[in-house]
A and B are shown apart, each in its own frame.
Chain A
Amino acid sequence: MTVRVQTEPFDVSAGIAAITMGRTDIGAIVTFTGTVRGEAHGKLLASMELEHYPGMTEAELVRVEAQAHTRWSLQDTLIIHRVGMLMPGEGIVLVVVASPHRHAAFEAASFLMDYLKTRAPFWKKETALDGSGGWVDARESDDAALARWNLPHS
């Protein structure tokens, strides 16, 4: 299990290699990459800045990973989340899940993203090309997405 919070771009192939290198017991690898959309509220985006809570971010991502490992038989997981200034088209988050069979990997990757989006302390601030912008509002649909996993309240 690995979590990384970094300003640098990530490489999907390197992420896969990091958790599969030297192993032959893995039967399925699912990756999810979240990227910066170049448009928001009908305006072209200049950049997106990601703020986070150093310390809690890593702790929360570790809790997210641990939850997934209690629910599915997973051989390894990797979460990389970027912070700082990002440009349209750049990767924001990478999740890689390795398991013996595909269903666990698909479901765990989906779960990790739903859980991360509602729990990990990151905040996005958008700046449009015309200079307008502001903090991105949380989506109720993200809470609904998490609810389907029947997590205990904390």
Chain B
Amino acid sequence: MAAGSDTRPVTLMYFAWVREKVGVAREEIALPASVATVADLIGWLSARGPHYANAFAKPDIIRAAINQVHVKATASLASAREVAFFPPVTGG
């Protein structure tokens, strides 16, 4: 995917079963300007292939972070350099 003037580079990170389903732990993407929110990005990724569609089949249970801070699905990607997707956390 070539990065044009209407895209910008963003690092995506995946953890736990989201990582296993997507098949990679991290990747660099050229984010289209039309993908404005976390929910938009989940939709955009889901259209990339069956691995992504499977990982994001239940978007309500996917958690996200932008630049290593928890965010909601409605959050804007305007300042995003790194976006992470993962299941609800189970530490402690």
Contacts and interface: CB of A to CB of B under 8 A. Distances in A.
Contacts of A51: 15-16
Interface residues of B, number: 16
A117 interface: yes
B91 A55 contact: no
Given A81-B91, A124-B91, A119 B16 contact: no
B15 A53 contact: yes
Interface size class of A (residues with CB under 8 A): 20 to 34
B81 interface: no
B23 to A, nearest CB: 16
Interface stretch (B42-50, B52-60, B82-90): B82-90
A123 B86 contact: yes
B13 interface: yes
B89 A121 contact: yes
A92 B88 CA distance: 18
B68 A59 contact: yes
B11 to A, nearest CB: 11
A136 B89 contact: no
Contact of B87 (A34, A55, A59, A135): A135
A97 interface: no
B92 interface: yes
A113 interface: yes
Can you list the 3 inter-chain pairs with the closest CB atoms, starting with the nearest? Answer: A122-B91, A138-B88, A56-B68
Given A53-B68, A59-B68, A60-B68, 20 more contacts: A50-B91, A52-B15, A53-B15, A56-B65, A56-B84, A81-B91, A81-B92, A117-B92, A119-B70, A119-B89, A120-B91, A121-B84, A121-B89, A121-B91, A122-B91, A125-B16, A135-B87, A135-B90, A138-B88, A154-B70
Interface of A: 34, 50-53, 55-56, 59-60, 81, 92-93, 113, 116-125, 134-138, 154
21 contacts: A50-B91, A53-B15, A53-B84, A56-B84, A59-B69, A92-B91, A116-B91, A117-B89, A117-B91, A119-B89, A120-B89, A121-B91, A122-B91, A123-B86, A123-B87, A123-B91, A124-B91, A135-B87, A136-B90, A138-B89, A138-B90
